[in-house]
Structure 1
Amino acid sequence: MITQLAYLGIASPRSEEWRDYSTRLLGAVIAEDGPDGAVRVKVDDKGYRIAIHPSENDEFRYAGWACHNETELREYVAHLRAQGLDVHEGTEEELKERQVAELYWTQDPWGNRHEFVWGQYAHPNSFFPGRPMRGRFVTGDLGLGHIVMIVPNLEEADAFYAEKLGFKLSDRVKSDIFNLRFYHCNGRHHSLAVAEIPGMTGINHLMLEVESFDDLGTAVDLFAEDADREILLSLGRHTNDLMTSIYVQTPSSMQIEYGHGGIHVDDLTWVAGTHDLPSIWGHHRSQAYLDGPPGIFRMLDVPEDGR
């Protein structure tokens, strides 16, 4: 089974801007570029966790999901194929680029690529924050963080991500404005969420969690003072994972949630619930949020029934 979000790949015409953005504002560091010139970002001792490929347009390229070892990965792939999914084996070039021992991939119903891997390369004691930080990023067994995917139909998304890929429901947020489902694959409250927006698909945001509340506060100050990147959602605390966070602009259309203090779930005791609001307090929307895109997305043909 999947154990964590291992890495994320997007593409952008502003990929070079991620070098300064990642270090000066986020506190990450830049790893060696990819073979196509991709800017690769480290947030821990893994070779890299985020890749921004050069491209003419903002694009969601892939999400990488890890299994514990080769045996579990191959059993998982066999399980996916038994359910009728078209699962492809990664090429030698892809293994080298992703810095993993083994890789398979498939697509969700709307063409978004998801990769399944084991053996992600790591370099112990290689990560030192790109700016002064009191702590580090929360990764390890919990993985990179979480992503929120944009999907045109929540029921179809649940059939793919939960029933086929095996993500476990943590809870949902449903109101007249929001319709999201949140899934976990380890102790992090969610490594994946899906947000329903009819007629489009893509990625809304990546969440990065820091160990220290002071490091979140420093990020608030840095983004508030930055002339190029705005805080899209003010400091707030979520109803479901109790994460205290801000949402910030990136050089590309994807947002980043920069947070601290998310709760953990235990499958032996956790009970999924429903919330009608996404936040207990805060997370006020800026004008830049209201005017901007909902992330990196593609428009889809919408059937007559809107589904």
Structure 2
Amino acid sequence: MITSLAYLGIKSPNKDEWPDLVTKVWGAQLAEPGPDGSVRVKFDDALWRLQIHPGEQDETAYIGWGVDHEEDLHALLKTLADLGVAAEVGSDELAAERAVNRIITFTDPWGFRHEVTWGQSHIACSFQPSRPISGFVTGQQGLGHVLLLLPDIDQAHEFFGKLGFRLSDKIIVPGRLYARFYHCNARHHTLALGQCPPGVAGLNHLMIQLQSIDDVGLAYELAEEHGVPLTMTLGRHSNDRQFSFYHSTPSSFHVEYGYGGLEVDEEAWVPRVYDRSAIWGHKPHPSGKGRPMGIMHQVP
């Protein structure tokens, strides 16, 4: 079934604020704009992996997943039908817009639009970072991970498990945090689910991973220099051991910029439960005070 996070699409009235963040802080590459003037971002040889469309308000437009084989899309259609979820085969025009060969679309019970794709277009040796960096960890591990806020992550556990996500571990801090983490490739988690109040759901953050710890430290300094609102200080997570920091984006959700996350050995991995989110660091940063927890929407 699903084996990677292929891309992410956002709508935002602040799309024109993105290029400076992408180039001056992340070191990623701006691709050619989309047909609607969207900002497209490259992290590797894929034509693009993040797209910020113009919109009247911040919105999670779509979450794009990848499968390894074209036949997996047919199997996924049957699985979704068994779950009572209506899915559609996307048009050739939509596939071309997303720079993939085949695509299916569906909306989950919490109102997120998902696009599952096969045949993402790549151009060899086309990635050119906007500043000197070691590069991003992508390839078979995909773009990174997303954390979705849902009102009942135990219910969601069964749903996403049917799509190919396997539990890596949980973090439970009574009264403060309940989260589940899922892998679908070697990356410790490609999908994370965090508990939020009833009636709403949202995209909390996207994680992008670097190949060098120094890339993360330098980006932290550059974020401060360019006035990017930091939300969590440098720290190391307890479960995936990622060394990272968090910042707010111009479009309400957050980005985790990290290095050194654990990789899963599927045959030997045993899920665990942790009672804290960080071994050290990851303290709330003053500049993040009052920032939204993510792009939130009402659950249908």
Where do residues 78-117 of structure 1 align in structure 2 (5 Å cutoff)? 78-117=78-117
Cα-to-partner distance string for 1:4-41 (whole Å, 9 max, x where unaligned): 00000011101111112111111111111111111110
| Range 238-247 or range 284-293, more displaced | 284-293
Aligned partners of 1:196, 1:93: CA distance in 2, in Å?
A: 36
Deviation at 1:267, TM superposition (A): 1.5
Q: What is aligned with 2:164?
A: 166
Q: What is the one-letter code of the residue matched to 2:124? A: P
Aligned length: 298
Q: Does 1:40 align with 2:40?
A: yes
Cα-to-partner distance string for 1:123-157 (whole Å, 9 max, x where unaligned): 10000111111x11000010000000111111221
TM-score, normalised by the number of residues in structure 2: 0.96
Aligned partners of 1:86, 1:267: CA distance in 2, in Å?
A: 31
TM-score, normalised by the number of residues in structure 1: 0.94
Q: What is aligned with 1:63?
A: 63
Asked whether the 8 Å contact 2:248–2:291 carries over to 1, the reply is no
Asked whether the 8 Å contact 2:3–2:164 carries over to 1, the reply is no
Q: Does 1:180 align with 2:160?
A: no
How much identity, in percent, do the aligned residues show?
A: 45
Q: What is aligned with 2:239?
A: 240
Q: What is aligned with 1:130?
A: 130
Deviation at 1:300, TM superposition (A): 4.2
Aligned-residue CA RMSD in angstroms?
1.2
Aligned partners of 1:88, 1:72: CA distance in 2, in Å?
A: 14
Deviation at 1:67, TM superposition (A): 0.7
Deviation at 1:75, TM superposition (A): 2.3
Q: Runs of 4 or more off by more than 3 Å in structure 1?
A: none
Aligned partners of 2:88, 2:164: CA distance in 1, in Å?
A: 18
**For 2:292, what is the secondary structure of its paired residue?**
coil
Q: What is aligned with 1:142?
A: 141
Aligned partners of 2:187, 2:143: CA distance in 1, in Å?
A: 10
Q: What is aligned with 1:254?
A: 253
**For 1:291, what is the secondary structure of its paired residue?**
coil
Q: What is the one-letter code of the residue matched to 1:79? A: T
Q: What is aligned with 1:72?
A: 72
Aligned partners of 2:229, 2:84: CA distance in 1, in Å?
A: 44
Deviation at 1:276, TM superposition (A): 1.2
Deviation at 1:69, TM superposition (A): 2.1
Asked whether the 8 Å contact 2:145–2:191 carries over to 1, the reply is yes
Aligned partners of 1:299, 1:65: CA distance in 2, in Å?
A: 23
Asked whether the 8 Å contact 1:109–1:160 carries over to 2, the reply is no
Q: What is aligned with 1:6?
A: 6
Aligned partners of 1:159, 1:136: CA distance in 2, in Å?
A: 35
